[in-house]
Structure 1
Amino acid sequence: MHLTPKIARRKLSDEVFDRLYELIESGQYRPGDMLPSERELMDTYGVGRPAIREAMQSLDRIGLVEINHGQRPRVLQPTAMGLISQIDLTARHMLASSPQALEQLKEARTFFELGMVDKAARQATSENVARLRELVGEQRRHLNKDAAAFVQADMAFHTAIAAMTRNPIFTATSQAMLGWLARFHAGILHWEGNEETTLMEHERIIDRIEAGESDQAVTEMKKHLERARALYTTNN
């Protein structure tokens, strides 16, 4: 006779977590609201302080509440950045241990960036373009002086294009992808002459965005990413 596995007994903190999560998800506690005190929750659910604290820590880890010493937990407004940050450590571990995953990330980044620059070119403002040129100017000031600052300005350039889509999920995803990739290429990005090539490519992309030529902006971005793609390595 086939026997099914035993039903596992759930931790009290998991039960508390589920109930608090349901209250937040249903809107009974909205962003900015304070949750009940530990003592109130202990009395309400009939559990001890450790179960309440463990449940609160779980809610804090996933970005649903903020815990400050001496205050009741406050419900947070969910954000795209908070959502992406929840997978950061897992993503970094996956990339460090799997060359295949790194290749998949590079492919995903190219697909993503081409879509973003197409949208950015269609709705760019003069302020957006000025910001991109400012970032290229910042990169140039760091040329042959501060490699780390050059990389940071490079990442800011691509994130600024993501922000031009006016979609916070695009912006958060762009920052995350760039951060993950930066761990694998910062030490080899600066081959002699490579920085100048990067600057020229960025300037061409800006020109096409400023002209509202989305197809050409995509073409320039594709050339830029295909050249840069070969620079990423699993050495960090």
Structure 2
Amino acid sequence: MDRGLGMVMQNDLTKHRGRPNLTREVVNAMAQLVMERVWSPGDPIPSEKELAARFGVGRSTIREAVQSLVTLGVVEVRHGEGSFVREPTSELLSSAFLWGLLLSPRTIGDFTEFRICIEATCAGIAADKRSDDLSQTLYEVLALMKSSPQNEVVCHDNRFHILIAEATGNPIFIKVVQTLQSTVRLWFPITYSLTGTADDTLAEHRAIADAIRDRSPAAARKAMRQHLSKASKRLRYLLTRGPSRDRA
């Protein structure tokens, strides 16, 4: 690609949009640069300082965006060298799916429907197969979700869902849920700042853990469906209403 044309595209795509979730905007634009081959496989991405200046955002936002792209398998960090666009591999097949979700918020409903099908089934199987170790671990993760600072809660939230998938003993469920959680990790910070979301999220997860503890597959599926539907509603509210401290 002609360097001058590439820079024009880059400047256009990296223009700050001023929407509520800066991290998602940066991730979207950077992913688009990769897909448009403005940044090609093997290319180093600009420095954190340079990207922050181009996007008009803080360096912490750039760090979060780069980490999200690392999670998606789009970027790799080479210690002592910097961050580079990854060469295409079969692992990036799932990333193409993830990018589509990231770049098209209108697909939230489709994503939620698919996620409910997968994760509600996992919850039911986990309840049916429930071991004392699983139940204890789920409650330990809930305690961490309650006591951890906001920037760490998403890790515990992801682990909660992946533990349930692992309890099925089905490697395909496990892989799919891991992929879904990579996307959730990107959306999570948008909704968690809503007033009441922390308490609501914890209560929804506790209902899932309680149903699994009680070995009630039907209750576990219902609790998971309700949690995912409410999480989707919170996200949709913010994307359509903009930043607010009000609850969905």
- For the aligned pair, the TM-score class normalised by the smaller chain equals 0.5 to 0.7
C-alpha deviation, 1:108, in angstroms: 0.3
Alignment of 1:48-197 (within 5 A): 85-142=91-148, 146-197=149-200
Paired residue type of 1:124: R
- Return the TM-score normalized by structure 1: 0.58
C-alpha deviation, 1:164, in angstroms: 0.5
Please list the CA deviations of residues 25-82 of structure 1 after superposition, one character each: whole Å capped at 9, or x if unmatched: xxxxxxxxxxxxxxxxxxxxxxxxxxxxxxxxxxxxxxxxxxxxxxxxxxxxxxxxx9
* Structure 2 unmatched ranges of 5 or more: 1-88, 243-248
Contact 1:181 1:232 in 2 (8 A): no
Kindly report structure 1 stretches of 4+ aligned residues shifted beyond 4 Å.
none
Paired residue type of 2:198: E
Q: Percent identity, aligned pairs only? A: 23
Contact 1:205 1:217 in 2 (8 A): yes
Task: Give the structure with the larger helix fraction.
Answer: 2
Distance of 2:129 and 2:179 partners within structure 1: 23
Alignment of 1:27-46 (within 5 A): none
Please list the CA deviations of residues 195-224 of structure 1 after superposition, one character each: whole Å capped at 9, or x if unmatched: 112112222211111111111111222221
Paired residue type of 1:197: D
Please list the CA deviations of residues 114-153 of structure 1 after superposition, one character each: whole Å capped at 9, or x if unmatched: 11111110001000111101110111111xxx22211111
Contact 1:185 1:231 in 2 (8 A): no
Where does residue 218 of structure 1 map in the other structure? 221
CA-based RMSD: 2.1
Over alpha carbons, which structure has the higher Rg? Answer: 1
Distance of 2:218 and 2:157 partners within structure 1: 22
Distance of 1:185 and 1:202 partners within structure 2: 14
* Structure 1 unmatched ranges of 5 or more: 1-81
Number of matched residues?
A: 150
